[in-house]
Amino acid sequence: MTQIIEIRSADDPRDVIHRACQLLAEGQLVAFPTETGYIAAAGALSEEGVERLRSVSSGETVLALKSPQEAHDYVPNMPTAADKLARRAWPGPLTIEFETSALNGLFESLPQATRQLLLGDRSAVALRVPAHEAILHVQQLSPAPLVVTSDRGKNLKLARNATDAAEMFGEQVALVIDDGPCRYGEPTTTVRFQGEQWDLVHQGMISARNIDRLVSEIYLFICTGNTCRSPMAEALFRRRLAEKLKCPDDELMDRGYAVLSAGLSAGVGAQASAEAVSVLEGEGIDLRAHESQPVTERLLIQADHVVTMTRGHQQVILNEFPELACRVRMLSAERQDVSDPYGGSRREYESCKAEIERHILKLLDDIGAS
């Protein structure tokens, strides 16, 4: 008989997570809430569990991973656009399909029954990182990914709550973890890659336009407080890039570029300094709407180009995130610090602005933005 447990009212939610792990290890099925709908899951290494999942799956099945980084274990030469989608949309309502030729031996190490179920009659395997703490916690404790039912398919009814899940999957599911109605209650968007090319297979929560934006190039300029140097760098880079692309500043996102700034010691919502606003007014650039933001791990992960004002800024980031070394650089190609005008005169701000612009023009040449 299927057991339904409300995880938030449990005496200790960790007991629910450990119970789910035990059932999966025993070859049972567990139904989890996600941001889109409830899905049934089996351990990828359990042939018994995979066969049970086959009996309740009315559509395609998906390999559920615990993090975007784990995708590289299965798709080592991941297309650039796929890497961007994984970094920016996962965990979240996106499924990415890869041709089997893109997968490496780790996929081949899964049991044959698991590989057959994931492939079905297709030549591609679907990957997803669901955005719900219950399934993510279980995955952190599991020796391998989970195989889960898809939330889309022909005539597939989406399970939006635990009762729906219990009715849909029946007694083949030993446990339903109940966390109330799903956040969205709509299916994931599915994108399929063939080499570097991708197609929208199914539009769900993420629109086609937002997929285009998610694969854009993101430039993140970083200083200390995000009120002087990095806001000026962000605004000047945006303006010069728009001029090179011969488009208005506000169309850069539609042309595949996003430009941001943040500060290592920044608060949230501070305005740009009055001197920075005044200096850029002469360029026809309005900094009055700028609001500071702190550097976060998510911002760094999402950015393709992290551009720091000083050597110290770069080193602080790389000390904590050495894996980002290939994406973090100083604004100055000569590795010269951009002087901090904070608290200085207008002349110092003008000098800083000229220094930043000189480096930005070189940066645009280096990246071939024309």
Would you give the distance in Å from CA 175 to the centre of its chain?
29
Structural domains in the chain, CATH included, are 3-212 (3.90.870.10), 216-367 (3.40.50.2300)
Question: Which one-letter amino acid corresponds to residue 297?
Answer: E
Q: How confident is the model at residue 369 (pLDDT cuts 50, 70, 90)?
A: very low
The residues that are catalytic are 223, 229, 340
Residue 156 has what pLDDT?
Answer: 67
- Burial code (b: 16+ CB inside 10 Å, e: under 16) for 184-193 equals bbbbbbbbbb
Residue 370 has what pLDDT?
Answer: 39
Is the whole-model pTM more than 0.75? Answer: yes
What are the backbone dihedrals phi and psi of residue 75, each rounded to the nearest 5 degrees, phi first?
-125, 80
The two tokens of residue 308 are 């720091």
Which residue intervals of 26-65 are DSSP H helices?
47-56
Q: What percent of the chain has pLDDT over 70?
A: 98
Q: How confident is the model at residue 155 (pLDDT cuts 50, 70, 90)?
A: low
Q: 199 vs 75, 203, 208, 252, 361, CA distance in Å?
A: 18, 11, 10, 22, 35
Which residue intervals of 197-296 are DSSP H helices?
208-214, 229-245, 274-281
> pLDDT for 198-251, tens place per residue?
999 999 999 999 999 999 999 999 999 999 999 999 999 999 999 999 999 999
Q: 31: exposed, middle or buried (C-beta count within 10 Å: 0-12, 13-18, 19+)?
A: buried
Q: State yes or no: pLDDT of 290 exceeds 60.
A: yes
The rounded mean pLDDT for the chain is: 94
Q: Do the strands 328-330 and 305-308 form a parallel or antiparallel pair, or are they unpaired?
A: parallel
- More confident site: 59 or 166: 166
Would you give the distance in Å from CA 171 to the centre of its chain?
35
Strands of 65-110, DSSP E: 94-99
Question: Which one-letter amino acid corresponds to residue 83?
Answer: D
> pLDDT for 184-203, tens place per residue?
999 999 999 999 999 999 99
> pLDDT for 245-269, tens place per residue?
999 999 999 999 999 999 999 999 9
CA 237 – CA 194 distance, rounded (Å)? 33
Q: 176 vs 3, 12, 36, 40, CA distance in Å?
A: 6, 16, 16, 9
Q: State yes or no: pLDDT of 152 exceeds 80.
A: no
Q: State yes or no: pLDDT of 32 exceeds 50.
A: yes
